[in-house]
Amino acid sequence: MRLPTLLAVLFMAACTAQPPYPAVPALRTEAVPKPPVTTEQVVWQPGHWDWSGGGYIWSPGQYVPVAGHGLNWRPGWWSLSDGMWHWEPPHWE
């Protein structure tokens, strides 16, 4: 194998060995404050990392109305579909 070809193969192997996106950072520890005084029923939505297209940004936890949300909180995750990675944002189910 000629040297330029070998270097090209090694370069391509090194590129494919890298993950397509950086790993999601560890969750931050948040102190859950007392819920606000309101007549509306609220639930704590924990803080989470969101993908901004160029990096992760932290979305701090907050109280959200129970109405319109499911009861199961799903953190964000990466899924592979049709050979492409897609960021599935955190959401309620």
Q: Is residue 11 part of a domain?
A: no
Domain of residue 32 covers: 25-92
Q: Is residue 1 part of a domain?
A: no
Q: Is residue 4 part of a domain?
A: no
Distance CA 86, CA 66 (A): 28
The secondary structure of residue 68, as a DSSP letter, is T
Instruction: Tell me whether residue 71 is in a domain.
Output: yes
Global pTM value: 0.59
- Number of structural domains (the chain) is 1
The answer to whether residue 7 is domain-embedded is no
Tens place of pLDDT per residue across the chain (93 aa): 554 554 444 445 444 444 566 777 888 999 999 999 999 888 888 888 888 888 889 999 999 888 777 778 887 787 888 877 778 888 888
Name the burial class of residue 29, with classes exposed (0-12), middle (13-18) and buried (19+) by CB atoms within 10 angstroms of its CB.
Answer: exposed
Whether residue 8 is contained in a domain is answered as no
Residue 68 domain-assigned?
Answer: yes
Enumerate the β-bridge partners of residue 69. none
* Of the candidates 90, 14, 7, the residue with the CA atom closest to the CA atom of residue 49: 90
Q: What integer pLDDT is reported at residue 61 of this predicted model?
A: 92
19 lies in some domain:
no
